[in-house]
Amino acid sequence: MAVLYERLRATHLGCPVIYVSTGAWNVAPTLSRFLTRNFYPPGPLLLTDWGPTHDRWFRSGRLHKEQSLGRIAAEFPQLKWLLVGDDGQHDEELYGDFLRNHPDNVAAVAIRQLSSSEAVFAGGRSRGEEHERTTRVPWLYAPDGAGLWDQLVAKGLVE
């Protein structure tokens, strides 16, 4: 996946990379080291708070991602995004909602398909609904960044 991000940055000079994760802020140093050591491009980490809220024991990672995407759309209304996620949590559904609310701000959605063991740790896989029937925005699926890159090239989104 790191190579995918670097290729994207090389073909779209100056494009921002923003990492939206359900990870808690207390893991930010570890996550930053992981990203750097594995050659992911630098970018802000939008992580969540950890711990109870007034109505639950744990904060909602889904709500955090939803709010973060909404904030990104509000702060950068002129940008067109490539949304990259995986099929392990709620990324497909969240990106579908974002696309419906901001159709002019999404170039494509790229979903990495988790391996069986990764899916166990992620709590399962999403349903993998058919999205391209309801929108002109391409939805790409592959088990790795190389496969996603090939599809981006095939769709003419990168050269």
Contact 148, 112 (CB under 8 A): yes
Whether 130 has a pLDDT exceeding 80, the answer reads no
Q: Write down the pLDDT at residue 87.
A: 87
Q: Write down the pLDDT at residue 53.
A: 63
- Structural domain spans, the chain: 2-154
The whole-angstrom separation of Cα 114 and Cα 6 is: 21
Confidence at 78, pLDDT banded by 50, 70, 90? very high
The whole-angstrom separation of Cα 89 and Cα 22 is: 10
Contact 13, 155 (CB under 8 A): no
Confidence at 71, pLDDT banded by 50, 70, 90? very high
The whole-angstrom separation of Cα 87 and Cα 92 is: 7
Contact 101, 132 (CB under 8 A): no
- Token pair of 92 as six digits: 């497909």
Average the pLDDT over each of 9-18, 55-64, 125-134, 143-152 and give the range with the smallest value: 125-134
Confidence at 49, pLDDT banded by 50, 70, 90? confident
Q: Helix (H, G, I), strand (E, B), or coil: what is residue 1?
A: coil
Cα three-residue angle 96-98-103, rounded to 5 degrees: 95
Q: Write down the pLDDT at residue 119.
A: 47
